[in-house]
Chains A and B, each alone.
Chain A
């Protein structure tokens, strides 16, 4: 049956090739949309999990654009750390700073301050993390961009002036000693980031007396799970908003990533419809042109089922071949689209819009096969209802 169907398609090689290419083009787009529909979620989740913290505590709802700071962070940290469900807690504060570039022009950078904890939200690439007990020479780690931009190496001095608030402020500069390089999961490709201790960040920002943080990162105890930690935190401190990484992802799924989900759904539907239309038209025209031949085969003894399956087999071959070709095309297209979307500001470099999951291949194949079957439905119906004698007669007369 497959050989026969292949030979039937090969009779009109131009049409068959166009059918395969058409399915390949829309199949590539379909594949990318399947990647996009979950890519951000998968990637975002991986990012959140990468530092080893599975719960986040903030002062307001996670989707509020301008988030208030968390006052009394020290007591909050102590309260959360005492919970049996919690392994570790680190408070984080964010600020800005300026330093002089190599050309003397001011350079703005993002400054992160972290409280003492066993784990930290960065990965040391070289050197070591800042030591809270550094004493007179406060320590700093920098990301690769900043190190390359300023030609920094371990042990070198870097002077920072705070730029933490919304109004200009004239806080005294602080001399730091660079102790290492680190990668920060949420850095965008152009980010200039440095991290130090919480106390040093407050000194840079001129808020030494402050006790606030932007976020608390919590690692749940092994065997307890993040939801147990979240419930415990909510019970102990109902004034705070605790979310597991799963919940953060779910909230962003509804709000932040909604556009991509919608466009993925719309484009997936359109591509499937397009593929369906293309194959249906190709097969219907082919069947219409072969009525006499099909009637002759029926007269020779081919069963109705046999000729119907031939049409289905042709559809499966066209869509299957197109689907196979669509995969490398899809990967290439995804890379191009990924590069375009990564130009958006503040998208972490490690974030992937088109994160590959094996299940996407399965869904892609399933959708294409369903399309193949549906596309063959009308031409199969034509073949099933073909009156043999009348067709033979018509062919002779015409």
Chain B
């Protein structure tokens, strides 16, 4: 195969309405993670535009895009990426502290979120003391810390067993029901099938779209 730039996403036009629960699935290398990174303002498209609530993100500087990610978008990663030297509660407090929330408010919100994800009693445990599923739930709590309007999850069940993965999707359903727009990237069709709107990608394009 000749070396050179790889076109990860091509000819793609997508609109996601507030309150939707969308899954993006496809085989490995189809561009779904790249699409998610673009949606999350982590990556910028080589061509085309990303509009977040009507604003063209491409015209914004790094600080402004960071501000969007901090307060309007929540990110959940396949490998959790919890900070190992912080407890579960401290991990959830971290984005709030970065957003300038006062300490009392942070602590209340953190306790609320950990209860929400069912880990109220594990607040002072470090990530190394948590199971994979528990760590991912803490990561979800962290992603919800600043009340984002959009939650993005990149293969959130990739490191988890089937049963735990289903529990995590159940948590996403609950988050969606509470009014947050959720977009999940997954290669697991069983998980994608639980979302109201499913986009199948292949070779950088949206190949098929299904709704239920």
Contact = CB atoms under 8 A, between A and B. Distances in A.
Do A and B associate with each other? yes
B66 A301 contact: yes
A65 B67 CA distance: 73
A303 B83 contact: no
B115 interface: no
Contact of A395 (B66, B70, B79, B83): B79
A389 B42 contact: yes
B91 to A, nearest CB: 10
Contact of B42 (A11, A303, A388, A395): A388
B106 interface: no
Interface in A292-322: 292-293, 296, 298-306
A393 interface: yes
Interface string B10-44: 00000000000000000000000110010010110
Given A393-B33, A396-B155, A298 B42 contact: yes
Contact of A306 (B43, B73, B98): B98
A370 interface: no
Nearest to B99: A301
A303 B62 CA distance: 7
A302 B66 contact: yes
Find the residue from B33, B62, B81 having the highest chain A CB count within 10 A.
B81
Contact of A11 (B66, B81, B85): B85
A306 B67 CA distance: 12
A395 B80 CA distance: 11
Contacts of A299: 40, 42, 69, 75, 77
B38 to A, nearest CB: 8
Given A292-B81, A298-B42, A396-B78, A303 B95 contact: no
B42 A392 contact: yes
A7 B83 CA distance: 10
A389 B66 contact: no
Q: Is the interface of A mostly helix, strand, loop or mixed?
A: helix
A296 B34 contact: no
Find the residue from A7, A10, A303, A392 having the highest chain B CB count within 10 A.
A392
Nearest to B63: A303
Contacts of A99: none
B123 interface: no
Contacts of B70: 300-302
Size class of the A contact interface (CB-based, 8 Å): 20 to 34
A8 interface: yes
Interface in A257-316: 292-293, 296, 298-306
B125 to A, nearest CB: 16
Interface in A1-20: 7-8, 10-11
Contacts of B155: 396
Size class of the B contact interface (CB-based, 8 Å): 20 to 34
A300 B63 CA distance: 13
Interface string A379-393: 000000000110011
Interface in A347-398: 388-389, 392-393, 395-396
Contacts of A395: 79
Interface string B66-104: 111111010101110101111000000011001100000
B158 to A, nearest CB: 8
B98 A293 contact: no
B79 A304 contact: no
Find the residue from A292, A298, A299 having the highest chain B CB count within 10 A.
A299
A298 B66 contact: yes
Contact of B69 (A10, A11, A300): A300
Given A7-B86, A299-B75, A301-B69, A389 B63 contact: no
B79 A292 contact: yes
B45 to A, nearest CB: 11
B137 interface: no
A303 B146 CA distance: 15
B142 interface: yes
A293 B66 CA distance: 16
Contacts of A301: 66-71, 73, 95, 98-99, 146
A296 B81 contact: yes
Contacts of B86: 7
Given A292-B79, A302-B98, A389 B34 contact: yes
Nearest to A292: B81
Q: Please give me the 6 A-B residue pairs with the lowest Cβ-Cβ distance, nearest first.
A: A301-B70, A296-B81, A389-B43, A301-B69, A389-B37, A303-B66
Interface of B: 33-34, 37, 40, 42-43, 62-63, 66-71, 73, 75, 77-79, 81, 83-86, 94-95, 98-99, 142-143, 146, 154-155, 158
28 contacts: A7-B85, A11-B85, A296-B75, A296-B77, A298-B66, A298-B69, A299-B77, A300-B69, A300-B70, A300-B98, A300-B143, A301-B66, A301-B69, A301-B70, A301-B71, A301-B95, A301-B98, A301-B146, A302-B70, A304-B66, A305-B63, A388-B37, A389-B34, A389-B43, A396-B78, A396-B79, A396-B154, A396-B158
